[in-house]
């Protein structure tokens, strides 16, 4: 037998009744046992942490992420470029992993847009993290900046990825994020 749903008034009353309520450590422990089915000792937690933090497990995770068909980390600039491609009736795939194209340390890189018929790879570069000289004319951040290392690694990675893809017979197009609204891509088939 199915019960009828609570009315808005009843939900409000229940919410008011629970305001300020705090669970005790004992009740939290009991809820944890109910949800997980067992209590893990400190030794077990440490053992699991060591197992899950191995290079092998990290590698498997990277492979799984790279091979996912769908991704929701597309920026506004990438979406602008994809709109332009759609308007020109050009078939493309987004966030695509191409096995065997890049060197070992970057082999799980996903390309923003892949135009397989034209052998073209499109990457939309974020102006901050890839350090656009137009948006940042004063050069990279201060040497003490915590982001400097990541920015320099991204610049190095971009160069290696482009060279490797071009050796593999692909044309690589880098588009700065600030130009995607005004950029007018034209491809001839």
In tens digits, what is the pLDDT along the chain, a chain of 189 residues?
567 778 888 888 887 887 877 888 888 877 777 767 667 778 877 777 777 777 787 778 777 777 665 555 678 888 888 888 888 888 888 888 888 888 888 888 888 899 998 999 999 988 888 888 888 888 777 878 888 888 888 889 999 999 999 999 999 999 988 888 777 777 655
Over the Cα atoms of the chain, what is R_g? 25
- pTM higher than 0.75: no
Percent of the chain that is helix, strand, coil (3-state, to 5): 45, 10, 45
Question: Which residue ranges make up each domain of the chain?
Answer: 72-179
CATH topology of domain 72-179: Endonuclease; Chain A (3.40.960)
């Amino acid at each position: 037998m199915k019960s009828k749903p609570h009315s808005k008034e009843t939900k409000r009353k229940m919410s008011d009744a629970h305001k300020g309520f705090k669970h005790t450590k004992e009740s939290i422990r009991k809820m944890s046992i109910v949800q997980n089915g067992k209590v893990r000792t400190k030794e077990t937690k440490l053992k699991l942490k060591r197992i899950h933090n191995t290079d092998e497990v990290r590698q498997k995770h990277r492979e799984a992420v790279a091979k996912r068909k769908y991704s929701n980390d597309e920026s506004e600039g990438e979406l602008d470029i994809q709109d332009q491609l759609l308007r020109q009736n050009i078939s493309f795939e987004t966030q695509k992993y191409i096995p065997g194209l890049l060197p070992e340390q970057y082999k799980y890189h996903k390309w923003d847009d892949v135009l397989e018929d034209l052998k073209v790879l499109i990457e939309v570069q974020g102006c901050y993290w890839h350090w656009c000289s137009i948006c940042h004319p004063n050069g990279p951040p201060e040497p003490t900046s915590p982001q400097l290392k990541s920015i320099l690694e991204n610049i190095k990675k971009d160069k290696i990825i482009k060279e490797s893809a071009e050796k593999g017979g692909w044309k690589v197009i880098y588009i700065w994020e600030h130009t995607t609204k005004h950029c007018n891509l034209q491809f001839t088939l």
